[in-house]
Amino acid sequence: MNKEIIKFTDASIGYGKTAILSGINLSIIENDFIGIVGPNGAGKTTLLKTLLGNIKLISGKISRDSLRFGYVPQRDTVQPLLPYTVFDVVMMGRYSFSGPFKRINAEDKKIVEESLSYIGMNDLKDKNYNSLSGGQRQRTLIARALAVEPSVLILDEPTNGMDTPSHYSLLDLISRLHDEKNLTIFLVSHLLTDVANIVKKVILLDQNYFQFGPIEEILSEENLKKTYSADFHVSQVDGEYIITPKHMKKL
């Protein structure tokens, strides 16, 4: 049985004294693959930031093993004017390990090279980050998170605005990371079908509404209606979930 690595007990999260979500009870085990879904403003980012320790709990308790987090932000939030290379960007993942007086060493460079190789970006390491396509930028940010050598990987809407091939190629990469590197993964996405077909468990949330559990239990039409205040059609074709709003043609 996998070990429990994160536990929220009666937790309230939010900014300052304003709670967005209360009564959160959540137990995450090693190698979990969790999707976080909910409408805009539901508290997904707040939950992530609390998980990362960047925001304090308003009340309750959170226990974390000594975890190392790799974080992949929405790529639109990273638009540098300076011509950083792909290698420069991925190397930033090593900066938290070296204090002010410690230089980047051969080991750091080796880890960066390995991260780039793993995501298939080694050939582009000297390219300007700004000159990359959306998919390549996202892969670079994933490589940076891998350079942290994380036990938990957090991805915030990684496929937003991507073309279809890049979109599915990235989802494949995320699945591969989970399977091959035994990473615990949190994936935030608005795309319910993607989440349903890739993750094992899901956190469904809206303001003061919180559900957590295996996909087959949580992603029901009833729960989705409570979360999004809209009707959804949940079906399975050849073992794959298809989730569509009910005003769309049913498949």
Kindly tell me which of 43 and 204 has the beta carbon lying closer to another protein.
Answer: 43
Figure out which of the listed residues 89, 116, 195, 224 binds another protein, where binding follows CB under 8 A: 89
CB of 18 to another protein, least distance (A): 11
CB of 81 to another protein, least distance (A): 4
- Applying CB under 8 A, the span of 6-14, 72-80, 161-169, 229-237 interacting with another protein comes to 72-80
Number of residues in contact with another protein under rule CB under 8 A? 30
83 binds another protein (CB under 8 A): yes
Per-residue binding letters, 135-154, with another protein (x by CB under 8 A): ------x--x---x-----x
The residues pairing with 35 across neighbouring beta strands, listed in sequence order, are: 187, 202
158 binds another protein (CB under 8 A): no
100 binds another protein (CB under 8 A): yes
Q: How many CB atoms lie within 10 A of CB 208?
A: 12
Kindly tell me which of 62 and 92 has the beta carbon lying closer to another protein.
Answer: 92
CA atoms within 13 A on the CB side of 161: 10
Figure out which of the listed residues 35, 70, 135, 158 binds another protein, where binding follows CB under 8 A: 70
Figure out which of the listed residues 17, 18, 81, 251 binds another protein, where binding follows CB under 8 A: 81
Look at strands 232-237 and 240-245 and give their pairing. Answer: antiparallel
Give the residues lining the site for another protein (CB under 8 A).
Answer: 52, 54, 69-73, 77-78, 80-85, 88-89, 92-93, 95-96, 98, 100-101, 104, 128, 141, 144, 148, 154
